[in-house]
């Protein structure tokens, strides 16, 4: 990942944003409690009210060996969720990962081995694969954007699957992307609707008064709004639905401010940017490009569980 605090003649980024970026620079794993909670809900919806009727027909002493394998090129993510799905059904299931989240995988690659009692393996199979395929799809899509963007960071958005935000944000990191604010409590973002009846300078001042340690992020649609935000001391600017030419002008204004004051706000481009266009927007000099395509538009990556057709019977070896 890129340096969380690029600097030069244009000045340093605000400390709150440097810390936010540094916190995610080395971790692609989701929080353990988020993994466990998501798997509990997923298994509940798959097993209510009477459990796995088909698996109940499997001999109780049948033991299976299998592999989780990729069917497509992509980036792995979601391994913790897959492991947790098996573990919540039986602590006798052993999952050994041969690849880690963030690894590039190809068709035929074995990403993990699975061994244990056959019935709970079959019960957990779809839940484990749903998480693994979905999150690997997010990581794979993110990796494509990161590769196309070059030096500019690719940021996710809050447009995530309800209940799965922490998992999808981790998958974005696995793909080489960066996370935007966690939720509405993380920092202040002043969009056009928030400015109804007030102005940027007043809104930033009120934000500082109420939450002095929080990042204040302002959405800008014009160069004049960028200038107002710089005057107000905003920590970050979201340049919304601007052309690359307009963004270049705004970035120059921000960098000139940084040269005068030693610090400058982070500059984000967003709004309708496609994968085909991202290189042009990255070339404008923005720090980040945010897109909901990382989560909203990501197709699942094809992975599957292949089991030995002749399960063992009796005690495990």
**Secondary structure string (H, E, C) spanning the chain:** CCCCCCCCCCCECCHHHHHHHHHCCCCCCCCHHHHHHHHHHHHHHHHCCCCCCCHHHCCCCEEEEEEEEECCCEECCCHHHHHHHHHHHCCCCEEEECCCCCCEECCCCEEEEEEEEHHHHHHHHHHHHHHHHHHHHHHHHHHHHHHHHCCCEEECCCCCCCCCHHHHHHHHHHCCCECCCCCCCCCEEECHHHHCCCCHHHHHHHHHHHCCCCCEEEEECCHHHHHHHHHHCCCEEEEECCCHHHHHHHHHHHHHHHHHHCECCEEEEECCCCCCCHHHHHCCCCCEEECHHHCCCCCCCCEEEEECCCCEECCCC
Given the residues 73, 91, 126, 280, the one annotated as active site: 126
Given the residues 158, 159, 214, 227, the one annotated as active site: 159
99, 83 Cβ separation under 8 angstroms = no
Q: Is 168 a catalytic residue?
A: no
Q: Is 158 a catalytic residue?
A: no
Given the residues 23, 73, 191, 259, the one annotated as active site: 191
Given the residues 29, 37, 94, 240, the one annotated as active site: 240
Q: Is 212 exposed, middle or buried (0-12, 13-18, 19+ CB in 10 A)?
A: exposed
| CA atoms lying within 13 Å on the CB side of residue 109 | 18
Q: Is 231 a catalytic residue?
A: no
Given the residues 156, 168, 219, 287, the one annotated as active site: 219
Question: CA 34: distance to chain centroid?
Answer: 14
Q: Is 173 a catalytic residue?
A: no
Question: Closest by alpha carbon to 72, among 308, 304, 305, 298?
Answer: 304
Q: Is 219 a catalytic residue?
A: yes
Residues tagged active-site: 126, 159, 191, 219, 240
């Amino acid at each position: 990942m890129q340096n969380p605090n690029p600097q030069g003649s244009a000045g340093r980024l605000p400390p709150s944003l440097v810390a936010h970026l540094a916190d995610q620079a080395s971790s692609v794993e989701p929080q353990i409690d988020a993994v466990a909670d998501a798997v509990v809900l997923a298994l509940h919806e798959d097993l209510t009210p009477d459990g796995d009727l088909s698996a109940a027909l499997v001999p109780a002493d049948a033991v299976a060996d299998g592999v989780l394998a990729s069917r497509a090129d992509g980036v792995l993510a979601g391994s913790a969720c897959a492991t947790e799905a098996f573990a919540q059904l039986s602590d006798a299931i052993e999952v050994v990962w041969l690849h880690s989240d963030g690894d590039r995988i190809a068709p035929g690659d074995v990403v993990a081995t699975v061994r244990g009692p056959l019935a709970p393996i079959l019960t957990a199979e779809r839940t484990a694969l749903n998480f693994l395929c979905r999150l690997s799809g997010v990581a794979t899509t993110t990796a494509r954007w990161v590769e196309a963007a070059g030096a500019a960071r690719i940021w996710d958005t809050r447009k995530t699957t309800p209940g799965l935000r922490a998992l999808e944000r981790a998958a974005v990191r696995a793909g080489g992307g960066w996370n935007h604010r966690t939720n509405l409590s993380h920092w202040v973002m002043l969009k056009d609707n928030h400015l109804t009846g007030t102005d940027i300078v007043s809104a930033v001042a009120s934000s500082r008064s109420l939450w002095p340690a929080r990042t204040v992020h302002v959405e800008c649609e014009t160069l004049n709004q960028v200038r107002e935000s710089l005057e107000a001391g905003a920590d970050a600017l979201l340049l919304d639905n601007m052309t690359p030419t307009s963004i270049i002008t705004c970035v120059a204004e921000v960098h000139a401010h940084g040269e005068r004051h030693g610090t400058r706000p982070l500059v984000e481009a967003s709004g309708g940017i496609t994968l085909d266009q991202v290189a042009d927007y990255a070339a404008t000099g923005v720090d980040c490009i945010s897109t909901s395509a990382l989560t909203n538009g990501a197709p699942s990556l094809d992975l599957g569980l292949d089991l030995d057709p002749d399960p063992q019977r009796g005690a495990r070896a």
